[in-house]
Amino acid sequence: MLQKNEDNERQRSFSRRALLLGGAQSLLLAGLAGRMYYLQVIEADRYKTLAEDNRINLRLLPPPRGRIVDRFGLPLASNRQNFRVVLVREHAGDVEMVLKALSQIIDLDDHDYKRVLREVSRKRGFVPVTVRENLTWDEVSRVEVNGPELPGVTIEMGQIRDYPFADSMAHVLGYVAAVAERDLTGEPLLELPGFRIGKNGIEQKYDLALRGSAGTSQIEVNAYGRVIRELSRDEGKRGDELVLTIDGGLQTFTHQRLMAEQSAAAVVMDVENGDVLAMASVPSFDPNAFNIGLTVKQWNDLLNDQLHPLTNKALAGLYAPGSTFKMVVALAALKSGIRSDHKVFCPGHMTLGRSRFHCWKRHGHGWVDMHDAIKHSCDVYFYDVSRKVGVDNIAAMANHFGLGQEVGIDLFGERAGVVPTRDWKLANVGESWQGGETLITAIGQGFVLTTPLQLATMTARLAGGRQVIPRLSRGVRAGAGPTEAGGVAPPDFPPLDVPLEHLRVVRDGMDAVSNHPRGTAYRARIEEEGLELAGKTGTAQVRRISMAERAAGVTKNEQLPWRRRDHALFVSFAPVHKPRYCCAVVVEHGGGGSAVAAPIARDILLETQRRDPSGRRSLPIIAPAQIAERG
C-alpha cells in the first residue's frame, strides 16, 4: 500500500513538471512565432530596405565644370579628356612586377612607385588605384597594345580643366586644383577623388556657379563590396557657362605687348560701362600646371621668383602713381576755387622752409597755367596749388576717382592702396603731417600708392564723367549651353559730382600731352585721324636723389641697376573727342613714362579701337550682369 502511494505521488510530480515544461516550450514557441511575425510581416518593408541598401551603393558623379568664355564666345577655360592608367591589385598579382613592366611603356618616377604601393596596401584588392594621369594618345595606345602583359592595368577616361591661352589669361582666370583639407565644408562632392575647385581668379570667384550639381550612380555590389553591375545613372547638372567682359584677342595682344618688359601690368576698360576688356600682368604662369599638379621644385620656383609671377600686378601691385596723380590735384584745385588760368613761375624748384623741392625739368618751365602744367607735367605748379588746397582735399578728390580704396571689381585679391591724409599719417605712422609731404603727395610720390586697375578706373571716370565700376563678368548662361535670350543692359552709373567744365580742363590738358608738339608724350601719339588718344605720363622714383647727385647730374635710369630705376606709368583714353576706351600701363623699373609706358599704351589703345570690342555684336546672355556667387 505504501509502495502504491509513492508511485502515485511520483506520477503526479512528473505530470506537473511535464505540464510546466510544455507550457514553457509553448510560451517560447509563441514568442518566437510572434517575433518572426513581427520581423517578417510588420517590419518586412524596413528590412527589405536595409537589405537593398547593403546590396546597392549610391555613388556621386562629379559634374562637368562650366566653361568660361570671352565676350564673343571664345573659350578661355574648358574641359578636355583626361586619360589615366589604373591598377587593380587582385587582378595584378605581383604589383611591383606589373609596375616595372608598365614603366617600360610609360614614364613612372620613384614618387609614382611609392605612392601606388602605399595606396594598394591601404585599399581593398578590388579597388582601382590611379597610377598616372594625363596620358597622351601615344601612351594610351602603348598601354592598350601591351594589355595582355599588364594584368590588372586598365585605361579610364575622365575630364580635366584646360586653359588654351595659358599664361596670357592666367591672372584673370586663375586655376583649379585639388580640394585641400581647409576647403572641406561637409559637401560630399568635395570629397570625391580627383575633384577640383577654383583656387584663384575667376575660377575661385565664381566657383559655385561653375561647379554644377553632382550626379549619381546606383551600383549593385556583393557582400564584400565588389561591383557587380550599374543599375542606373544620373549625370547631374553641368556647371553654368560664365561670360566675361574680356576680349580674348585684345587680352592676348596686351599680354604679348608687355612681354618685352621684365615686370609690367596693363588694364583696358570701356569708359561707358566699366567692362574690363583686357587685364594683363607679366611675368605670368601656366595654370594648366596647377591642374595637373606641380612638383615641389616648380612650386618653390614660382614662390621664390623675385618678379612675383603669381601676383596679378594689375589688381594687387602697389605703385606710386607719379605725375598721373596730377589730374586729381588739378580737379581738387578747381573745386577749391583756383582758376584754370592761375599762373605759377617754375624756375626748376620750390623752396619750403629749409627744403628744396625740384621739378623734373632742371631749369624749369617758366610761367605756366593749369593747362600748360598738365601738358608739360610741371612739378612746381602742382607744388604751389597743393599748398593752397591741402592734402585732405586732395585725398577726398582722389577717393572720388577710385584711388586709395578697392574699386569693387568682381575678383578676389584687390588691394586698396594708400591716399594719405593728416589723420591717416597720425594713425599709421604716429607722427604729425608735414607741409613738405603735401608737395610730395601732389606729384604722386611719398605715401601715395595705387594699382593699375585704380588708375584705369580714375581715367575712365575722367573721360566719361560717371562713377564707373570695373567688372569682369557679364553673367552666366545655363549649363545646357547658349540660349536665344537678349543681351545684358549696361550698368547705369551715376554722374560724378564734378562740374563738366572742370573735367574739360583736365581732358584738354591730357589731349595736349599727347597731341601738342611740346607735350610730354607727343612721340607716342596715335597719328590715325579719329583715333587720337589723350594721356598723361608718370615717372615714379624708387630711390632718393641726393643734393650731391643733383649737382653732378642725376644718373640716368639705364645706368642704374634694374631695381633702382624709376617706375614708368601712362594713363590714356581714346578717341579724344568721344572717349570710349581707356588704358593704364605700369612698367616696373622701366624708366621714363613717356619713353617706355606711353608707347605700350598707344599700341594697346590703337589695337582696341581697331577691334572695337564694345561696338561689335556680343553673345546673348541671361542672368544678372554681375554675380558674386551662384549655387
Residues serving a catalytic function are 323
Residue 18's CB is within 10 A of a number of other CB atoms, namely 10
For residue 525, what is its C-alpha cell?
A: 601719339
Beta strand pairing status for 56-61 and 215-221? antiparallel
Distance CA 218, CA 52 (A): 11
> CA-to-CA distance for 318 and 404, rounded, in angstroms?
10
Distances (CA, A) of 392 to 384, 435, 438: 16, 12, 9
Rounded Cα gap, residues 164 and 591, in angstroms: 34
Residue 356, helix vs strand vs coil? strand
Q: Locate all alpha helices (DSSP H) within 269-406, ordered by sequence.
A: 287-292, 296-304, 313-316, 326-335, 370-376, 379-389, 391-400
With both helix axes pointing from N to C terminus, report the angle between 95-103 and 110-122 in degrees, rounded to the nearest 10: 150
What are 241's three cell numbers?
557657362
| 401 and 457 Cβ atoms separated by less than 8 Å | yes
**DSSP secondary structure letters along 62-100:** PPPPPPEE-TTS-EEEEEEEEEEEEE-HHHHSSHHHHHH
Quickly list H helices, 465-497: none
Amino acid at site 561: P
